[in-house]
Amino acid sequence: MSAKTIDFTVNNQGSIFILTGISEACREWIETHVGDDQSMTWGKGIVVEHRYIQDIIDGLQAEGFVGANA
């Protein structure tokens, strides 16, 4: 059995989450579907309010991306 490649990480900071795309395809998906030019970033990740993170994760997983907690 081969290990799955991680496409994104989610870092829980309490009231916000840091979503970071690892694979190129996942980074492109996040850029297309999450936030806009006014979105706050932290390092290579995007800051997401807690009320939106589950819907974003669900969308990523529906596309076949694999995530992990950071």
Q: Token pair for residue 30?
A: 């996040």
pLDDT (tens digit per residue) in 32-54: 999 888 899 999 999 999 999 99
The architecture (CATH level 2) of 8-69 comes to 3-Layer(aba) Sandwich (3.40)
- What number of residues does the chain have? 70
For the chain, the structural domain boundaries read 8-69
The alpha carbon of residue 4 and the mean position of all alpha carbons in its chain are separated, in whole angstroms, by 17
pLDDT (tens digit per residue) in 3-33: 679 999 999 999 999 999 999 999 999 999 9
Instruction: Please tell me the distance from the alpha carbon of residue 62 to that of residue 45, in angstroms, as a whole number.
Output: 20
pLDDT at residue 31, rounded to an integer:
93
Q: Which helix (H) or strand (E) holds 33?
A: helix 24-33
